[in-house]
Amino acid sequence: MFREMRRIKQLLSEEDTKAVLERCSNGVMACMGDDDYPYAVPVNYVYYKDKIYFHSAKSGHKIEAITKHPKVSFAVVDKDTIVSEEYTSYFRSVIAFGKARITEGHEYLEAFRALVEKYSGDMPEDDKLKQVRECTRAYIVAIDIDHVTGKEAKELVEGKK
């Protein structure tokens, strides 16, 4: 169902792929938008319990698109260093494919806590808990991952040897 990566020697291990998803703070979710145009939108996210979670307003293009067509892709760029003398960049990235859905109940609270922890880790605990308890204006969207791959520049692969 999913294509095999052409440059298989540049494939990140499962462990390295998860590490990229855990350390990055923003990615681009792509979905089917209005009039069958692709819609790609940057979002802050957290990778938690093998899912991708992000917050969203309760209405708008993003929510309408994933409600109509829940299949999405999600891309994260971990590294992109331009190397002028080689006319290239040394990159590391991950792309995930899955189905997006609006969370509810316990999953909503857990994912919201994970987002708050990631983006306000240095705030006092009471302030973090207040954010979780009081926020009812946003949805938390989950992407249930069906397939994920990571890839890095061949120069980075060779540097590991």
Q: What is the pLDDT of residues 132-157, one digit of tens each?
A: 666 677 899 999 999 999 998 888 87
Residue 147 lies in a domain: yes
- Which structural domain, as residue segments, surrounds residue 143? 8-154
The total number of structural domains in the chain stands at: 1
Residue 94: pLDDT over 90: yes
What's 93's domain CATH number?
2.30.110.10
Reading the block at residue 43, the tokens are 């979002």
pLDDT band at 129 (very low <50, low <70, confident <90, very high): low
Render pLDDT for 14-48 as a digit per residue (tens, 0 to 9).
Answer: 999 999 999 999 999 999 999 989 999 999 999 99
Task: Report the DSSP beta bridge partners of residue 144.
Answer: 51, 99
Count of alpha carbons within 13 angstroms of residue 25, beta-carbon side: 6
Residue 102 lies in a domain: yes
Residue 3 lies in a domain: no
Give the residue from 60, 47, 17, 24 showing the smallest Cα distance to 111.
47
pLDDT band at 98 (very low <50, low <70, confident <90, very high): very high
Using alpha carbons only, what angle is made at residue 52 by residues 35 and 30, rounded to the nearest 5 degrees? 20
Nearest-angstrom CA–CA distance, 134 and 148: 34
Residue 2 lies in a domain: no
Residue 161 lies in a domain: no
Residue 3: pLDDT over 80: no
Render pLDDT for 44-81 as a digit per residue (tens, 0 to 9).
Answer: 999 999 999 999 999 999 999 999 999 999 999 998 88
Residue 1 lies in a domain: no
Reading the block at residue 111, the tokens are 């994912």
Residue 12 lies in a domain: yes
pLDDT band at 127 (very low <50, low <70, confident <90, very high): low
Residue 140 lies in a domain: yes
